[in-house]
A and B are shown apart, each in its own frame.
Chain A
């Protein structure tokens, strides 16, 4: 102890002793920032109570590690930020026309809106906000500072560049999180009475594991996304929204693309691919490039300019993967830490913000009573589950099950349909798929439709396997569908992975060490397995940012290596590592990508 005190005295002569806050928010996400905003309102009503709050954000700037679609339900902003228009929230556009499109290798078929409305009403996004979420988060952080200054009994300290990387427990209650790595214990841990985790699983997964909160594992998908500035005479896209199915994800994996028209002649294009795939080599970034080679998108992107590239994982499990409890002693889980994404509607931001809004009320009550037990905090779970924002999320709970139960739809019939569609049109594709197995297709389609639009409980327990367990080293199908269009694509619209990383603006001032590889032996075995089959190792192929590589050592032995300075911290490698031999942590000292503008 004497040495610690001595060290401390050397390092700072200011306030000594442990660093302590009442409330610690992990991650400046829409959920936590909504919570903080709401807490300002609530605290203003009770001037006799005092609270200190720390918001920990791993990126250099607020919003710097946020990447999302995003088409968001306007209602949540009306509720949580009633003055968001006057306060200048950055809105790209308001969706005027929303389409669901089937993509062949050459052709595109916009499903008539009447059919979309009847069968897939969740994809009708008219009236929704099209947002660049990183900018919105930066706006939330900026307005929060101004708002907190008007509430003298609430001190909100905002820490950019400080991740939470480790949890410290005291008698099974969370007592502190580690925020830096100076080696001096007193300087590295932030203590608190209550913690709110709204991370993408970096740390919340440890809580879920420790307290055995998950009956069903979370299943994840990876989203890769680019923002483009279009040439001046490009089609006018502001306010237009497309969601696509089909090309280029034709390997049997659930996946789809999106194209959102933004303000100032910009467009954002992305591809979301589930990680519970048999395919060991998904190549998410390459799939996005294939998508961009489609004649429809070439017409849009030709002579355009790439502005940003980014990638992130999305929790797709839905209600079935929700933890048993949303709270433990001294902590709440919110947003992506819970997995509030409704994958059928591709909407999670509104529910994440609602979790923050409701969380604030429960946090406020807990501090009023000075009670941070899970019993007191369980009101959060009850209130959140009863929220109207969660209705669709709950109704769409069988979406993933629809495709898990009926795998042939994506594995067998979709590629046949796409082939036929390219040759003879939509009906021809449909007919070919039908003729391939009339009974099978009918039964599976019918079963899927029941799951997709299930109004009531189906007597069918949802069971997931984590993504890495699905990977099949004997996979032989076409890994990525290639564009076979006669029209040539413009080469300058296509970027290799190493070139794309440039547009994620990754920067690590301190030598990064944030991905743990537990055993080099395990990696060697894994490399041998996949090399023998002529396949790439999953972490190498599926990395979104040119981090994982194979190094050839003396004697021709291939070993796993990492170029961590490229890492965009998407966590895909951790989720698909067949041996679960990797762990991605948040990097210290503000290292990472800069997703501002995505």
Chain B
């Protein structure tokens, strides 16, 4: 039996670029305005999983990428379209600032419910394992509980046969093969396939989109909390039971680290020896 058309959602987040230098606020948090931005590397695997699932489904399968964040997060939705995602949606609202995982999962679950009404019920929802800025790995499972979907976490490979998921998930010390019914939410581990290069047609489409406001509205839907009928008190700071009581510097980790790179081994060894306070120098004295 061939698979039916799959309605797929993938959740993506914009995070500070790990390659750029971000400033640190006096309270120890990242100065997000200053940092360069990128697609959360874990979400790239989720996006690849969503695009692979689309190929497994019937010819009418489609992928919708959903994100939550300030307006510049639209860039990662353009990126998703370049890679072949069909539609995107951004939940953007000032009231969302300072959300913890509970508030985030509430807002995103409400967004998904809203989209299910307009774009159809889900067969699959994909999330990255975690983000590189929050590192909690909680939002995906929380959303899943709120939406009452089948949950498969830490997935590093999967197939859809006869409308059933056959997935391989990582467990401590090994892997586990599971079978799950649709609709399901899967969090994708970073041992899954790397995100393929953007498609030419996708890149063409996005460049045309940027010139056409009408099309932009259709393919990059920007909505706020009122649209998704979310309770403000459950969002943002108000909806976040997590309290950061204090952050402090725990000192410099690892002491002075000098990187020696790009030279011949011989030159690098000489360099290490010549470095002042070199451990080797100290040791050689002993």
Q: What residues make up the interface of A, taking CB atoms closer than 8 Å to B?
A: 6, 9-15, 19, 54, 149, 155, 157-159, 161-162, 179-180, 182, 187-188, 190, 306, 491-492, 495-496, 499, 502-503, 509-510, 588-590
- Given contacts A158-B207, A187-B201, A590-B197, whether A13 and B86 have CB atoms under 8 Å apart is yes
- Please tell me if the beta carbons of A12 and B59 are within 8 angstroms of each other in the complex: no
Tell me whether B252 is interfacial, beta carbon within 8 Å. no
Of the candidates A159, A182, A188, A492, the one whose C-beta lies within 8 Å of that of B203 is A159
- Given contacts A14-B86, A509-B194, A588-B197, whether A499 and B263 have CB atoms under 8 Å apart is yes
Tell me whether B120 is interfacial, beta carbon within 8 Å. no
Please tell me which stretch of B69-77, B125-133, B264-272 contacts chain A, meaning at least 4 of its Cβ atoms lie within 8 angstroms of it: B264-272
- Please tell me if the beta carbons of B261 and A495 are within 8 angstroms of each other in the complex: no
Whole-angstrom distance from the CB of B274 to the nearest CB of chain A?
Answer: 10
Tell me whether B140 is interfacial, beta carbon within 8 Å. no
Q: Using Cβ atoms and an 8 Å threshold, which residues of chain A touch B262? A: 306, 499, 502-503
Cα of A161 to Cα of B204 in the assembled complex, Å: 13
- Please tell me if the beta carbons of B201 and A14 are within 8 angstroms of each other in the complex: yes
- Given contacts A492-B271, A502-B261, whether A161 and B207 have CB atoms under 8 Å apart is no
- Sorting the interface of chain B by its residue count into under 10, 10 to 19, 20 to 34 or 35 or more gives 20 to 34
Give 1 or 0 for each of B196-235: 1 = CB within 8 Å of chain A CB.
0111111111011001000000000000000000000000
- Please tell me if the beta carbons of A9 and B207 are within 8 angstroms of each other in the complex: no
Chain B, residue nearest A590 (CB): B197
- Between A and B, 14 residue pairs with Cβ closer than 8 Å are A6-B59, A10-B61, A14-B202, A15-B201, A19-B201, A157-B207, A179-B200, A187-B201, A306-B262, A492-B267, A502-B261, A509-B194, A510-B197, A590-B197
Chain A, residue nearest B274 (CB): A492
Q: Using Cβ atoms and an 8 Å threshold, which residues of chain B touch A9? A: 59-60
Whole-angstrom distance from the CB of A576 to the nearest CB of chain B?
Answer: 26
- Please tell me if the beta carbons of A12 and B263 are within 8 angstroms of each other in the complex: no
Tell me whether B13 is interfacial, beta carbon within 8 Å. no
Q: Using Cβ atoms and an 8 Å threshold, which residues of chain B touch A588? A: 197
Of the candidates A187, A491, A590, the one whose C-beta lies within 8 Å of that of B267 is A491
- Please tell me if the beta carbons of B205 and A15 are within 8 angstroms of each other in the complex: yes
- Given contacts A13-B62, A509-B194, whether A19 and B267 have CB atoms under 8 Å apart is no
- Please tell me if the beta carbons of B201 and A12 are within 8 angstroms of each other in the complex: yes
- Please tell me if the beta carbons of B207 and A11 are within 8 angstroms of each other in the complex: no
Q: What residues make up the interface of B, taking CB atoms closer than 8 Å to A?
A: 54-55, 59-62, 84, 86, 194, 197-205, 207-208, 211, 261-264, 267, 270-271
Whole-angstrom distance from the CB of A512 to the nearest CB of chain B?
Answer: 13
- Given contacts A509-B194, A510-B197, A588-B197, whether A12 and B202 have CB atoms under 8 Å apart is yes
* 6 further A-B pairs in the complex, CB-CB below 8 A; given A12-B201, A180-B199: A11-B55, A14-B201, A159-B200, A162-B200, A492-B270, A509-B197
Q: Using Cβ atoms and an 8 Å threshold, which residues of chain A touch B200? A: 19, 159, 162, 179-180, 187-188, 190
Whole-angstrom distance from the CB of B273 to the nearest CB of chain A?
Answer: 13
Whole-angstrom distance from the CB of A52 to the nearest CB of chain B?
Answer: 9
Cα of A180 to Cα of B263 in the assembled complex, Å: 35
- Please tell me if the beta carbons of B199 and A182 are within 8 angstroms of each other in the complex: yes
Highest count of chain A CB atoms <10 Å: which of B59, B197, B207: B197
Whole-angstrom distance from the CB of A180 to the nearest CB of chain B?
Answer: 5
Chain A, residue nearest B58 (CB): A10
Q: Using Cβ atoms and an 8 Å threshold, which residues of chain B touch A499? A: 262-264
Cα of A324 to Cα of B208 in the assembled complex, Å: 38
Chain B, residue nearest A149 (CB): B211
Whole-angstrom distance from the CB of A491 to the nearest CB of chain B?
Answer: 6
Q: Using Cβ atoms and an 8 Å threshold, which residues of chain A touch B207? A: 155, 157-158
Q: Using Cβ atoms and an 8 Å threshold, which residues of chain A touch B199? A: 11-12, 180, 182, 187
